Each structure stands twice: as structure tokens, then as C-alpha cells.
Amino acid sequence: MYFFLAHLSFVDICFISTTVPKMLMNIQTHSKVITYTGCISQICFSILFAGWDDFLLALMAYDRFMAICHPLQYRVIMNPRFCGLLVLVSWIMSVLNSLLQSLMVLRLTFCTDMEIPHFFCELNQIIQLACSDTFVNDTVLYISTVLLAGGPLAGILCSYSKIISSICKISSAQGKYKAFSTCASHLSVVSLFYCTVLGVYLISAATQRSHASAVASVMYTVVTPMLNPFIYSLRNRDIKGALTRFFKRATIKGTIVLVVKKCP
């Protein structure tokens, strides 16, 4: 789990670095101009790291499935070599998909100056602004989305269906809690990632308001990667203890100040 978590943290940093620096520079300089090369590069890297993030979440679900449903075979099957191979395959598939989508955008023709109703060059928005026929691009986009996004999601759902079935068979309540606690952080991250991504595309399909779609995009491009380290850190007992002591001290200090104010 920590091997996959290290790669997930790296991908989250790269994912944020693709969009946030340009957005902050636009806010600081009050300029919203981006070059054609910069826009294509932003599309390429955002698709790359979003796809790799998706694959890593599926691999982490498989890791939890092996740990809970096949604990005696876990160390034999999930050895470092096999885990490295899984990460390498997911990286290659993400790179190929990113290159394919970027090359498909390069074949389109655009006007000299165009306005993108978004805070970064999002693939679907760019395709809609093209002046040439986009049927091939839309087809490739839908097929790749179903295969490369729906596939990992199906794997996650399948893994957790078997995990829940195995947890229900545990007789003791303490055993059930211990087994489920190892999946709580991953479930939180998966729910946050997929709910925000689905929210973006549902909003885009239901309404033509670009502002609503941009706000929803902030959730999965900025907020979700930022919250992932905090969600996984809460599994650590030392961090839990530090947070507990901090809130206890804050409560005590607040009580003392309240009493002192009432004395006069």
C-alpha cells in the first residue's frame, strides 16, 4: 500500500503542477493568455497524470483485496517486482492515451484567437471550440474514457464487493473494524475523485454554464490532490494522537480564556 501511495503522492504533485502555476500567474498578472503550444502541453500532461491517478487507485483497491481476501498469499503475490510491473504498465497506458489525445487535437484547426471558458485547457472544451470536424476526436475520446476510466472503476467496484463479502464473514466486531479501517482512507480518496470527476461531466452535460463546470473542475484538479495526503495521514497513530492533543489543548485554552473574561 505504501509503495502505491508514494506513487500516488508523486502523481498528485505533478497533476497540480500542470494547472495551478499557470492559474496563479494569470491571477497575479491579470492576464489570461496562453500560447497554442502551452495549451497542447497542458492537455497532454493533465490527461497523463489524471489517467495515471485513476490506474493507481485501481491498483490500490487490488492491493487491499489481496490483503483482506488472501492474507496468506499476500506477500508472495504482491512482491516488489510485481508491484513495480503494475505501476510500469499503468504508466505506459497513461502515456499512450495522453499522446493519442494530444495528437488528435493537433489535427484540428482553430481560429487565430479563441476564448476557453475554463481556467485551464481542458480537452473537451478545446474540442468544442475547433472549427473543423470533431467526430473522430469525440469518438476516440468517448472510447478511451470508457476503457481507461470505466475499466479501473469496474476493477475498484469488483475488488470492494469481494472485500465487503469477506469482511461480513468475520465473526468478531473488532476483526471487522480492523479489516475495514485499512480500506477507509482509500475509499475516501476514491469517492472524492470519482464524485468530483462525474460531477464535472454531469454539469457539462446538463447545463451550458461554463462557470459551474470550471468550479467543479477545481475539485478534482486542485482540492482532491491536496486532500489526499491529509486523508492518508489520519491512518497514522502518531498524527491522530497529535491532533487529539492539539484539540484538547485548544479546548482547555478556550475554557480558561472564557473563565477569565467572566471574572470581572
Condensed to tens digits (0 to 9), the pLDDT of residues 35-56 reads 888 889 999 999 999 899 999 9
pLDDT for the residue numbered 199: 66
Cα-based angle 45, 194, 175 (whole degrees, multiple of 5):
125
Which cell numbers hold the place of 148? 481507461
pLDDT in tens, 9-28: 899 899 889 988 888 888 88
Largest CA distance in the chain: 77
Q: Domains along the chain?
A: 2-171 (1.20.1070.10)
pLDDT for the residue numbered 113: 73
pLDDT in tens, 87-140: 999 999 999 999 999 999 998 888 777 788 778 888 888 888 888 888 898 899
CA distances from residue 255 to 103, 191, 250, 261 in whole angstroms, order as listed: 62, 37, 9, 10
pLDDT for the residue numbered 27: 83
Q: Is the pLDDT confidence value at 222 over 90?
A: no
* CB contact at 8 A, 229 and 185: no
* CB contact at 8 A, 176 and 167: yes
